[in-house]
Chain A
Amino acid sequence: NAGVTQTPKFQVLKTGQSMTLQCAQDMNHEYMSWYRQDPGMGLRLIHYSVGAGITDQGEVPNGYNVSRSTTEDFPLRLLSAAPSQTSVYFCASSFKSNQPQHFGDGTRLSIL
Chain B
Amino acid sequence: SQKIEQNSEALNIQEGKTATLTCNYTNYSPAYLQWYRQDPGRGPVFLLLIRENEKEKRKERLKVTFDTTLKQSLFHITASQPADSATYLCALPASNDYKLSFGAGTTVTVRA
Binding site for B on A (CB under 8 A): 4, 31, 33, 35, 40-45, 48, 50, 56, 58-59, 90, 92, 97-106
Contact A42 B104, beta carbon cutoff 8 Å: yes
CA distance A98 to B33 in the complex (A): 10
New A-B contacts (13) at CB < 8 Å, excluding given A56-B98, A97-B100, A101-B34: A42-B105, A45-B101, A90-B44, A97-B93, A99-B49, A100-B34, A101-B91, A101-B100, A102-B46, A103-B44, A103-B45, A104-B43, A106-B43
Determine chain A's interface SS by DSSP, over half rule. strand
CB-CB contacts of B77-112 with A at 8 A, as 1s and 0s? Answer: 000000000000101011001111111110000000
Whole-angstrom distance between the alpha carbons of A106 and B42 in the complex? 7
Nearest-neighbour CB distance to chain A for B5, whole angstroms, equals 10
> How many residues of B are in contact with the other chain, CB < 8 A?
26
0/1 string, B7-49, CB within 8 A of A gives 1: 0000000000000000000000001101010000111111001
Q: Are A45 and B100 in contact (CB under 8 A)?
A: yes
Taken together as a complex, chains A and B put the C-alpha atoms of A90 and B94 apart, in Å, by: 19
Distance, CA A13 to CA B105, complexed state (A): 28
Query: 4 tightest A-B contacts by CB?
Result: A103-B43, A100-B46, A42-B104, A43-B102
Q: Across the two chains, which residue of chain B brings its CB closest to A35?
A: B102
In the complex, chain B residues whose CB is within 8 Å of the CB of A104: 43
Enumerate chain A residues within 8 angstroms of B45, measured Cβ to Cβ: 103
B46 touches A97 (CB 8 A): no
Give the chain A neighbours of B42 by CB distance below 8 A.
105-106
CA separation between A44 and B89, bound complex, in Å? 12
Whether A50 and B44, one on each chain, are in contact in the complex, defined by CB atoms closer than 8 angstroms, is: no
Q: Name the A residues within 8 Å of B89 (CB-CB).
A: 42-43
Chain B residues with CB under 8 A of A43: 44, 89, 91, 102
Given contacts A41-B104, A45-B101, contact A98 B44 (CB under 8 A): no
